[in-house]
Amino acid sequence: MEYKDYYKILGVKESASAEEIKKSYRKLARKYHPDVSKEADAEASFKELGEAYEVLKDPEKRAEYDQLRKMGAFSGDGHFQPPPGWESASHFSGGGFTDADPQHFSDFFEAIFGRSGTAHRQYGRGGRQYGFQMRGDDIHHKLPLFLEEVYSGVSKQITVNIPEVDERGMLAHKRKTLNVKIPAGMAPGQHIRLRGQGAPGVGGADSGDLFLEIELAPHPVFSVQGNDILINLPITPWEAALGTQVVVPTLSGKVNVKIPKGATQGQKLRLKGRGLKGGKQGDQIVILQISVPSQHSKEAEELYAKLAEQEKSYNPRNKMGV
């Protein structure tokens, strides 16, 4: 198993005072807190941090850990083996346990301090299982969907890891695949509950539920703003000048849109009722983007020269003072 250098994880020296350890933990906890952090491995780093702090903040556990370090109970390649007959005096599993989520601690931690004390494990091992009931944990998942799927509804196969406590009181994960039918018109951020699909209960108690939070996956064509759908629509300068009819994709199929004569760059056209449902019915907003070919024929250049002559009085840069 991998040796964990708790001092290194917390970024402190071996001689660090309790105060220094606390200070460093708090700083790093803020940096890596999964609810706040932008760091890639925030969740894993935060768990490691919690484990390191769990040991180093407690003088008894810290002393034991220091003793192990001195005994050199790990080989040079980073693999750790506790000395034969090693037993922790602090007996982590026997209670006196803090607020942290114990199931997150590593094998390394458990090899030194014993298995952590979730209710399942304590009761399982203490032979007091009789009559003990506990509802299974809820499981929360995010479910990224494409805009079209959110709009029209979709059947999705999802796989979740369900934590289960076996007969020896050990925690194991089981993969479960479910077919879920997502109805049309869900809003991003909305939750779906799958009753009884969470972790199984203990002692015949109910299973927990599985919650799915709808999330939007990025879309190549459409953007979303509230219930409105935004789309950039490229048009040519002559289409803008003369007006025309163009075909525009929407979530509910292609529609014909009239570009008014004299349209301008960035002008917005609203397609009523072509947005997302839910609360207030959204619209689709078409944003015109003037698009120019990168090369022109000689004839076209001549026409542009004529146009330049004709439109001489228009200076698009007059607000820049040039």
Q: Which stretches of the chain bind another protein, using CB under 8 A?
A: 26, 29-30, 33-36, 46, 50, 99, 135, 138, 140, 157, 177-183, 186, 189-195, 197, 211, 213, 218, 223-225, 230, 232, 287
> Which helix (H) or strand (E) is 86 found in, with range?
none
**What residue has token string 């397609």?**
271
The CB-of-125 to another protein minimum distance in angstroms stands at 22
CB of 199 to another protein, least distance (A): 12
User: CA 298 to CA 313: how far, in whole Å?
Assistant: 24
Least spacing, CB of residue 102 vs another protein, in Å? 13
Closer CB to another protein, 67 or 232, in the complex: 232
Which CB, 9 or 186, lies closer to another protein? Answer: 186
- Based on CB atoms, which residue is closest to another protein, 68 or 282? 282
Where do the H-state alpha helices sit in the chain? 6-10, 18-32, 42-56, 59-70, 107-113, 119-125, 147-152, 237-242, 298-310
By C-beta, is 225 or 315 nearer to another protein? 225
Measured from the CB atom, the residue of 114 and 188 that comes closer to another protein is 188
- What phi and psi, each to the nearest 5 degrees, are found at residue 85? 80, 5
CA-to-CA separations, 95 to 90, 107, 122, 227, 289, in angstroms, rounded: 10, 19, 9, 50, 66
Fill in the amino acid letter for 204: G
Residue 74 Cβ vs another protein, minimum distance, rounded to whole Å = 29
Smaller CB distance to another protein: residue 18 or 36?
36
Q: Find tokens 């001092």 and name the residue.
A: 7
Here the tokens at position 293 are 């070919």
Between CA 178 and CA 12 the distance in angstroms is 46
Indicate the pairing of strand 244-250 with strand 171-182: unpaired
| Shortest distance, position 86 Cβ to another protein, whole Å | 30
The span from the first CA to the last CA of the chain, in angstroms, equals 70
**Which residue's CB is nearer to another protein, number 295 or number 310?**
295
C-beta closer to another protein: residue 158 or 255: 158
Q: How far is the CB of 186 from another protein (least distance, A)?
A: 7
* DSSP letters for 212-267: EEEEEPP-SSEEEETTEEEEEEEE-HHHHHH-EEEEEEETTEEEEEEEPTT--TT-
Q: How far is the CB of 193 from another protein (least distance, A)?
A: 4
Strand-pair partners of 103: none
Rg, Å, the chain Cα set: 31
Shortest Å distance, C-beta 220 to another protein: 9
